[in-house]
Amino acid sequence: MNSLIYAILIGVIALLYAIYLVYRVLREERGTEKMIQISEYIKEGATAYMKQQYKVILTVAAIIAVVLFILLGPRLAIAYVLGALSSTVAGFIGMYIAVNANVRTTNNAMVGGLSKALRVAFNGGAVLGFMVVGLGVLGIVALYIAFGGEPSIVSDIVGFGFGASTVALFARVGGGIYTKAADIGADLVGKVEAGIPEDDPRNPGVIADNVGDNVGDCAGMGADLFESYVGSIISAMILGAVLYKAMNWTILPVFIAGAGILASIIAALTVRVKEGGNPSTPLTLSSIIAATLTAILTLPISTSMLGFTNGFKVFIAVLAGLITGIIIGMTSDYFTNRDRLPVKKVAIMSQMGPALTILTGMSMGFLSTIIPIMAIAIAGIVAYVFGPEVYGVAMAAVGMLSITGIVVSADAYGPIVDNAAGIAEQAGLEENVRDIADRLDSAGNTMKSISKGFAIGSAALTALALLVAYIQVTGITGSLLTLLNPKVICGIFIGAALPAIFTAIVIMSVSDSAFVLIDEIRRQFREKPGILEWKETPDYGKCVSIVATHALRKLLLPGLIAIISPLLVGFILGPEALGGMLAGAIVTGLLLGLFQGNVGNTWDNAKKYIELGNLGGKGSDTHKAAVIGDTVGDPLKDSAGPSLNILIKLMTIISLVFAPLITQYYLFR
């Protein structure tokens, strides 16, 4: 129990480091007046969006908290509220610093060069990264101590994960719909109808689009990985408590997470680049450094807490998780990297027209799922066989997610440099400044691809760990949870269909919301004809709020499906069917999530490969074909795909929360 002080200490260090980085970023200069003005628009838009989103989130969370309080008692409700608040705070501060770091990155590219610009952008992203892990560890430890510090109380901490899941649902799914609706809507009216370039300040939707980048890859990804992070730790704690009924088994996951935080901070300090260097090298390397250090730190921690044999087993499980995370990231990188075969093949086939862009991309997308799925399958079996059985599976998830701090840092760097490049363009800065910004942005795209794969892979492994915890909590025996039980098979089939429904609904929500924005932009052009002649300023805020409102409304249906499906199947068909359903959903969710994330980035980079002057370059028919692929891929990679991460985790965590009620009251026995 006393050793938990160390865990608290590490959590505090993470937060202090994040605060220090906030200071480091904010003390930088913001550049010319024009740059400041553009960045203020983005900041205002982002703040407006965040306020609107979190108002809805907190309302919904309050209702759920009351329901939990009535059905499952005050502790679970308190944990829930704390989880939701932690994720909200992390997301808000992360967004705040991101929209402040973008213009400072541009300015540093102008006055300080590549090296300094990278540092500012990465520091900006790292604020979110270390807020996420710091608040995650602190919240869990605080609840554990507050509830009495006994293994038996761990089941109430699940509420913390549920709270995180609720916020993630809004931030990731609502944010995903928002970001692509704004993107497509602004493009279709601006580029196609009005004939003005991308990112042109005359387009009333342009700020909504810029805000979208931050909403998706910053707040959305942060909430997503916060959920995975706490979910994996909590599932391992539950298994430790239920299976071994001992303190050390229960709290070990927190310490592994702590090791990961220290390793991530050290890794973050290594991120530097020489002038003229490639920024994606230190960024990619930082994850590998963090993983290596975490592995090294894990062995002494686990053996001192569980004795040599069991400690070594846990070490193997954590190692399996860490390696799997790296493999998944590398696979995503391979399939979406401009210099590799898959992207080039899609670009080459685009010469035969858009149909072959789509088909070749799809086949690459399907191919890209195999290695990650196999890696997770093998990690699961290694963690079980060589680790301490099912506890090992959960510890593999903890291992994989222990480097969340550095992964989120590198990911949240993406929207900052994306915006930085946009600001450089809009402010009409010099060629060499824009070149630096573009190189930073290109590295940001690589990081976004990698972390997208990592997010879905870790979501699947976390959901699997939560599923294992759910099975232990329900106490259903193995012979009931068999493939010979038709309820289990029925559950698997139902579960397998859910990611498909979810995907369909999210894609349609994006196009519907895009049309709402299109109407608004057309209205502004019509009512303020001076906009196109630079005489009137468009109402950017109106566009932001209109898409935000619509996206959040569109979230209702998928949100309800995610929340109600496990309850329906659980209370009607019983806990075995629900177990089957979760397994089915995890499997197809992983498959479709990987497919959509990778195929979208493959198309995106095939387009960029052509834009570099290959195969006819910009404006050629090949380029047009590639643009169609890119547009198709956008909602897949940024809206529907990532929303599956949330779906599978939210459903498993709800099942875990309601497991005690389900086992008592289900209908068909």
Contact positions with a second copy (CB under 8 A) in 506-545: 507-508, 510-511
**Closest CB to a second copy among residues 299, 488:** 488
- Residues of this chain, 153-212, that bind a second copy according to CB under 8 A: 188
Would you count residue 349 as binding a second copy (CB under 8 A)?
A: yes
Would you count residue 489 as binding a second copy (CB under 8 A)?
A: yes
Would you count residue 146 as binding a second copy (CB under 8 A)?
A: no
The nearest distance, CB 317 to a second copy, in angstroms, is 12
| Per-residue binder mask for a second copy (CB under 8 A), 382-421, x = binder | --xx----x--x----------------------------
Half-sphere exposure of 21 (CA within 13 A, CB side): 30
- Residues of this chain, 603-642, that bind a second copy according to CB under 8 A: 628, 631-632, 635
The nearest distance, CB 467 to a second copy, in angstroms, is 8
**Closest CB to a second copy among residues 420, 581:** 581
* CA nearest neighbour of 121 among 438, 466, 351, 359: 438
Please report where in the chains the tokens 């862009």 appear, as a residue: 357
The nearest distance, CB 14 to a second copy, in angstroms, is 33
One residue of 505, 578, 646, 651 binding a second copy per CB under 8 A: 505
Q: How many binding residues for a second copy (CB under 8 A)?
A: 74
**Closest CB to a second copy among residues 102, 605:** 605
Q: Which stretch binds a second copy (CB under 8 A): 84-92, 260-268, 501-509, 650-658?
A: 501-509
* Angle at 453 (CA atoms; ends 583, 117), nearest 5 degrees: 150
CB-CB contact of 513 with 550 (8 Å): yes
One residue of 32, 37, 303, 363 binding a second copy per CB under 8 A: 363
**Closest CB to a second copy among residues 337, 631:** 631
**Closest CB to a second copy among residues 356, 567:** 356
CB-CB contact of 69 with 383 (8 Å): no
146 phi/psi in degrees, rounded to 5: -60, -35
The nearest distance, CB 187 to a second copy, in angstroms, is 10
Round the CA-based radius of gyration of the chain to a whole number and report it. 24
One residue of 483, 534, 535, 667 binding a second copy per CB under 8 A: 483
CB-CB contact of 246 with 151 (8 Å): yes
Alpha-carbon span 538 to 151, nearest angstrom: 58
Burial of 274 (0-12, 13-18, 19+ CB in 10 A): exposed
One residue of 360, 402, 409, 655 binding a second copy per CB under 8 A: 360
CB-CB contact of 592 with 500 (8 Å): yes
The nearest distance, CB 587 to a second copy, in angstroms, is 4
Would you count residue 590 as binding a second copy (CB under 8 A)?
A: yes
One residue of 281, 477, 564, 612 binding a second copy per CB under 8 A: 477
CB-CB contact of 663 with 475 (8 Å): yes
**Closest CB to a second copy among residues 328, 494:** 494
The nearest distance, CB 509 to a second copy, in angstroms, is 9
**Closest CB to a second copy among residues 145, 367:** 367
* CA nearest neighbour of 105 among 17, 164, 6, 26: 26
Q: Which stretch binds a second copy (CB under 8 A): 60-68, 113-121, 143-151, 477-485?
A: 477-485
Question: Alpha-carbon dihedral of residues 95, 99, 104, 109, nearest 10 degrees?
Answer: 100
Would you count residue 492 as binding a second copy (CB under 8 A)?
A: yes
Q: Which stretch binds a second copy (CB under 8 A): 30-38, 264-272, 348-356, 426-434?
A: 348-356
SS (H, E, C) 295-353: HHHHHHHHHHHHCHHHHHHHHHHHHHHHHHHHHHHHHHHHHHCCCCHHHHHHHHHHHHC
SS (H, E, C) 560-598: HHHHHHHHHHHHHHCHHHHHHHHHHHHHHHHHHHHHHHH
Would you count residue 494 as binding a second copy (CB under 8 A)?
A: yes
Alpha-carbon span 49 to 541, nearest angstrom: 9
**Closest CB to a second copy among residues 78, 578:** 578
User: Which residues have CB under 8 Å from 74's CB, separation 6+?
Assistant: none
* CA nearest neighbour of 425 among 627, 433, 204: 433
Would you count residue 456 as binding a second copy (CB under 8 A)?
A: no
One residue of 310, 474, 545, 588 binding a second copy per CB under 8 A: 588
Give, in order, the Cα–Cα distances in Å from 46 to each of 37, 53, 179, 216, 548.
14, 10, 11, 11, 10
Both structure tokens of 234: 């909590």
Give, in order, the Cα–Cα distances in Å from 397 to each of 445, 590, 617.
25, 15, 43
Would you count residue 353 as binding a second copy (CB under 8 A)?
A: yes
One residue of 181, 591, 648, 653 binding a second copy per CB under 8 A: 591
Would you count residue 2 as binding a second copy (CB under 8 A)?
A: no
* CA nearest neighbour of 444 among 2, 89, 117: 117
Would you count residue 485 as binding a second copy (CB under 8 A)?
A: yes
Give, in order, the Cα–Cα distances in Å from 116 to each of 44, 384, 437, 569.
26, 45, 12, 54
Would you count residue 496 as binding a second copy (CB under 8 A)?
A: yes
Count of positions (residues) in the chain: 669
**Closest CB to a second copy among residues 180, 434:** 180
One residue of 463, 488, 551, 644 binding a second copy per CB under 8 A: 488
Q: Which stretch binds a second copy (CB under 8 A): 9-17, 278-286, 308-316, 352-360?
A: 352-360
619 three-class SS: coil
The one-letter amino acid at 370: I
One residue of 36, 262, 362, 661 binding a second copy per CB under 8 A: 362
Q: Which stretch binds a second copy (CB under 8 A): 75-83, 285-293, 435-443, 489-497?
A: 489-497
One residue of 79, 271, 407, 464 binding a second copy per CB under 8 A: 464
One residue of 478, 534, 613, 667 binding a second copy per CB under 8 A: 478
One residue of 159, 579, 597, 641 binding a second copy per CB under 8 A: 579
